[in-house]
Amino acid sequence: MTDRPLEDLVLGLAEIDADHAASIALWKTARDAGPAAFPAALAAWVDHLEAHFDREEALMRRIAYKEIAHHEAEHRRVIAEGRGFVAQVAAGRTMMARAYAAEMVPDWFRRHVVMFDSEVARVARLAGVA
């Protein structure tokens, strides 16, 4: 996957783009956090992501998005993964969670926006939501 800056992944839907910007800011805070701040920063990013996914899924229902089940399954998978890392950090095991935040999240975010969210945005525009 390209190293295209995450901030450049704009879909043209204000609601989703604002959530993505907040997600990126919270992720960067977690990625760059020192040892004392990392647990709360990672949990804040996962909490925000879950709320964002709820809003995005509501949009998909409003536009009768046909691939909603697949998209929701990806959301559930990512939240479960994130919650697992939050639990590891709470138990004092931070190495894997830090690697996840630094290496896995950016690639996942790019793939998710390009493969999943861009199609939701296209359908939303066709439905007159944009």
pLDDT attached to residue 52: 96
Tell me which amino acid residue 111 is. R
- What does the buried/exposed string (b/e) look like for 16-25 if buried means 16 or more CB atoms within 10 Å of the residue's CB? beebbeebbe
Q: How far apart are CA 77 and CA 108, in angstroms?
A: 12
What does the pLDDT look like over 107-122, one tens digit per residue?
Answer: 999 999 999 999 999 9
Any residues with CB less than 8 A from the CB of 8 and at least 6 apart, and which?
A: none
Q: What does pTM read for this prediction? A: 0.91
What count of Cα atoms within 13 Å lies in the side-chain half-sphere of residue 90? 9
What are the structural domains, with CATH classification, of the chain? 11-126 (1.20.120.50)
pLDDT attached to residue 9: 86
What does the pLDDT look like over 58-70, one tens digit per residue?
Answer: 999 999 999 999 9
Ranges in the chain, pLDDT < 70:
1-4, 130
pLDDT attached to residue 2: 52
pLDDT attached to residue 3: 67
